[in-house]
C-alpha cells in the first residue's frame, strides 16, 4: 500500500464537525464516520492509482488533513482529484458570509455563527448526490442506509472499502438485476434512467457546480428526472449551496411542528412563509433551525475543531 498525506486549505469560517454533522450523508456508504476519532472515511477512484481510501480529519489552523491510501503509486493527477473531491465534500469553496449576515443579531440563531454551521456534507459527484437523494424518498432512514450500502457493493474494492458505482456501471445492469441488488423497489427504473442519461451524455449534472448557472435552470433539469420532485430538487440544490428552495420532507414537518409551531401541524406554506424573510438563505436557516437539537449536542461534543 502507498500513502500520501495532504493538507488542504480551508476558509477561516470552516468547521469540520459542523460540516460532517450537517445532515445524514456521513452515515451513507461509501462515507463512514468514526465518531471517536473524528475521522471521515470514503473510498474514491483515482485516475491513475485506481481505488483509494481517503481519511479526512481536521488539520492545522485553516486546513483539512487528508491521508490517502492506494494499492498503486500515486501521481500528481491523483492528488488533484483527491483535492477537488475534498473541496466538494466539505464545501471548502462555499462563501457563507451572506448567511451569517442574514442571521446576525438573532440570539436564538447565534449558535449557527458560533459553531460555524452552514456547510453541507456532499458527495464528490452530483451523480452520487442524486442517487442518494432518490434513496431518501418515501423510505425510512434505515432503508436509505441499507440501500446505499448495497449500491456501494457494486463498486470496486480497496482495503476493505468500496467506491460508489459509476453511471456506466449502473446503466450496464438490467432493471431486474439492479432491483435485486439494491432493493430500491419502484425507484429502480428511475435510478437506471438517471444512470443511462449521464452515461450517454444526455445529462451532465457536474455542470451544475458552475456558480454562474441559474438556480431555476438547475431545478428545471432535476425536476425533469423521473422520481425527482420538489423535495428532491431542493435537497440536491442544498448540497450545491443553493438554499432558495426548501427541502420539506416528513422529518422537517415534524421537527417544525414541535420546535417552531407550538405542536401544531404546519402546512408547507406555513413553513415557506416562516422562512421567506431570509431570502436566498431561507432553506439553510430552516434546515439548521429544525436540526438544532440533533446538531448542537454533536458540535459541543466534537468541540471546536478547524
By CB under 7 A, name the binding residues for DNA. Answer: 23-24, 136-144, 146, 179, 183-186, 223, 225-233, 235, 247, 249-251
- Asked if 2 and 70 count as a contact pair (C-beta separation under 8 A), the reply is yes
Say how many C-beta atoms besides its own lie within 10 A of residue 16's C-beta.
25
- Cell triple for 41: 472515511
Q: How far is the CB of 192 from DNA (least distance, A)?
A: 13
Q: How far is the CB of 115 from DNA (least distance, A)?
A: 18
C-beta of 94 vs 187, nearer to DNA: 187
C-beta of 74 vs 233, nearer to DNA: 233
C-beta of 75 vs 216, nearer to DNA: 216
Q: How far is the CB of 233 from DNA (least distance, A)?
A: 7
State whether residue 287 is helix, strand or coil: helix
C-beta of 76 vs 269, nearer to DNA: 269
Give the DSSP H/E element, type plus range, for residue 41.
strand 39-46
C-beta of 8 vs 89, nearer to DNA: 89
- Cell triple for 182: 439494491
Residues in the chain: 306
Q: How far is the CB of 6 from DNA (least distance, A)?
A: 28
Residue reference for cell 424518498 = 137
C-beta of 68 vs 234, nearer to DNA: 234
State phi, psi for 305 to the nearest 5 degrees: -105, -150
Q: Which of 121, 114, 183 is nearest to 149 (CA)?
A: 183
CA separation for the pair 257, 275 (Å, rounded): 14
C-beta of 81 vs 239, nearer to DNA: 239
CA separation for the pair 265, 26 (Å, rounded): 30
- Asked if 127 and 155 count as a contact pair (C-beta separation under 8 A), the reply is no
- Asked if 50 and 148 count as a contact pair (C-beta separation under 8 A), the reply is no
Amino acid at each position: 500500500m502507498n500513502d500520501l498525506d495532504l493538507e488542504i486549505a480551508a476558509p477561516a469560517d470552516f468547521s469540520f464537525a459542523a460540516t460532517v454533522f450537517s445532515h445524514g450523508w456521513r452515515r451513507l456508504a461509501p462515507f463512514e464516520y468514526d465518531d471517536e476519532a473524528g475521522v471521515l472515511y470514503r473510498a474514491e477512484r483515482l485516475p491513475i492509482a485506481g481505488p483509494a481510501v481517503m481519511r479526512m480529519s481536521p488539520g492545522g489552523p485553516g486546513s483539512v488533513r487528508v491521508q490517502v491510501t492506494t494499492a498503486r503509486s500515486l501521481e500528481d493527477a491523483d492528488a488533484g482529484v483527491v483535492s477537488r473531491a475534498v473541496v466538494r465534500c466539505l464545501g471548502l469553496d462555499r462563501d457563507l458570509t451572506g448567511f451569517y449576515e442574514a442571521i446576525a443579531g438573532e440570539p436564538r440563531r447565534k449558535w449557527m455563527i458560533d459553531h460555524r454551521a452552514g456547510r453541507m456534507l456532499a458527495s464528490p459527484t452530483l451523480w452520487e448526490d442524486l442517487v442518494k437523494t432518490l434513496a431518501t424518498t418515501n423510505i425510512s432512514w434505515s432503508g436509505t442506509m441499507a440501500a446505499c450500502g448495497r449500491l456501494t457493493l457494486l463498486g470496486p474494492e480497496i482495503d476493505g472499502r468500496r467506491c460508489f458505482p459509476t453511471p456506466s456501471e449502473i446503466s450496464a445492469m438490467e432493471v431486474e438485476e439492479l432491483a435485486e441488488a439494491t432493493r430500491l423497489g419502484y425507484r429502480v427504473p428511475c435510478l437506471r434512467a438517471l444512470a443511462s442519461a449521464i452515461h450517454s451524455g444526455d445529462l451532465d449534472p457536474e455542470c451544475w457546480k458552475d456558480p454562474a448557472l441559474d438556480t431555476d435552470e438547475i431545478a428545471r433539469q432535476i425536476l425533469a428526472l423521473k422520481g425527482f420532485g420538489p423535495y428532491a430538487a431542493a435537497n440536491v440544490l442544498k448540497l450545491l449551496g443553493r438554499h432558495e428552495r426548501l427541502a420539506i420532507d416528513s422529518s422537517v414537518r415534524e421537527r417544525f411542528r414541535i420546535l417552531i409551531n407550538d405542536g401544531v401541524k404546519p402546512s408547507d406554506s406555513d413553513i415557506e412563509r416562516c422562512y421567506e424573510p431570509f431570502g436566498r438563505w431561507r432553506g439553510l436557516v430552516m434546515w439548521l433551525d429544525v436540526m438544532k437539537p440533533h446538531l448542537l449536542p454533536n458540535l459541543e461534543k466534537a468541540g471546536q475543531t478547524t
